[in-house]
Amino acid sequence: MNGDKMPAGAPKKFVLDSSTIITISDNCLIRVMKNLAQKENISFIIPQSVYTESVETPIRIRKYELNAIRIRDAVDEGYIRVQKSTPQLRARLERLQSLADNLCTFNGERMRLLQLGEMETLALMREINADALGIDERTTRMLIEEPRNLLGFLRKRHEGKILLNDSALSEFAREYGNIKIVRSAELIALAYEDGSFGQELHTSKQALEAALFAAKYGGCAVSADEIKSYMGQIR
């Protein structure tokens, strides 16, 4: 794990899945995204389904209302933008949904590995030619980055007969296999490295480590060993 910096100054587009944006907001770091957007010239973009998952639905539930308000405020302030759907995006999403339905079977029945928000972020990323996809969810990341290890991972999670469709996996890899992925932990690391913590968090190694572990325990698929290795590289 590292901050994974891209050339400073060049405009960049990051499409965010709900898993990443919720993890960051849940740890009170949503305004760090504003600083990061300005310093790194990043446009953070979410599709409508992610806005629904992270704002419109949870804002009606007391347990999640405050987090939803934070994300809504970020959208209202403009440093996270909701991308409206288009006929081209809907067509791309329909093709991906059809492909996703054929990737995996569980006990002889189709098992969809991707949820709507994840599929729409993938479709949107390709549609706008974004630079990176922010996603914390492990299954989707493995499908993109480590498809050969996915079957073993799924069999540890589910008891039953799981089969992957090699043809569908190959088609998915051709379309989405070379996507650059960042997790909430990597966005936090990047924010620390370029001084984007601002007034939200003390700029110390202890604060950084605490933020990374908070992301881990908040749902980001990052290991303790990855965090410790990264911390060992920080001065």
Residue-wise pLDDT tens digits, 124-133: 999 999 999 9
Residue 220 lies in a domain: yes
CA distance 167 to 28: 42
Domain presence at residue 151 = no
Specify the pLDDT at position 2: 57
3-class secondary-structure state, position 163: strand
Dihedral sign for Cα 186, 187, 193, 197, please: negative
Can you say whether the dihedral through the CA atoms of 96, 48, 44, 222 is positive or negative? negative
- Domains identified in the chain, total number: 1
pTM of the model: 0.90
211-227, pLDDT tens digit by residue?
Answer: 999 999 998 989 999 99
pLDDT band per the 50, 70, 90 thresholds, residue 157: confident
Of the chain, the percentage scoring pLDDT greater than 90 comes to 76
Give a yes or no: residue 123 inside a domain.
no
* Any domain includes 79: yes
Six-digit token string for 225: 């060993």
Domain that holds residue 36: 12-85+182-233
Rounded to 5 degrees, what are φ and ψ at 57? -80, -55
Cα gap 126→129, rounded to integer Å: 5
Whether residue 60 is contained in a domain is answered as: yes
Residue whose pair of structure tokens reads 């965090």 in the numeric block = 227
DSSP annotation of 204: S
- Residues 171, 120 contacting (CB under 8 angstroms): no
In this model, does residue 107 exceed pLDDT 70? Answer: yes
pLDDT score of 4 more than 70: no
User: What number of other Cβ atoms are within 10 A of residue 21's Cβ?
Assistant: 30
| Tens digits of residue pLDDT in 175-214 | 998 899 999 999 999 999 988 887 778 888 999 999 999 9
Q: At what angle do helices 166-176 and 116-128 cross, to 10 degrees?
A: 40
Residue 66 domain-assigned (yes or no): yes
The conformation of residue 183, written as its DSSP 8-state character, comes to -
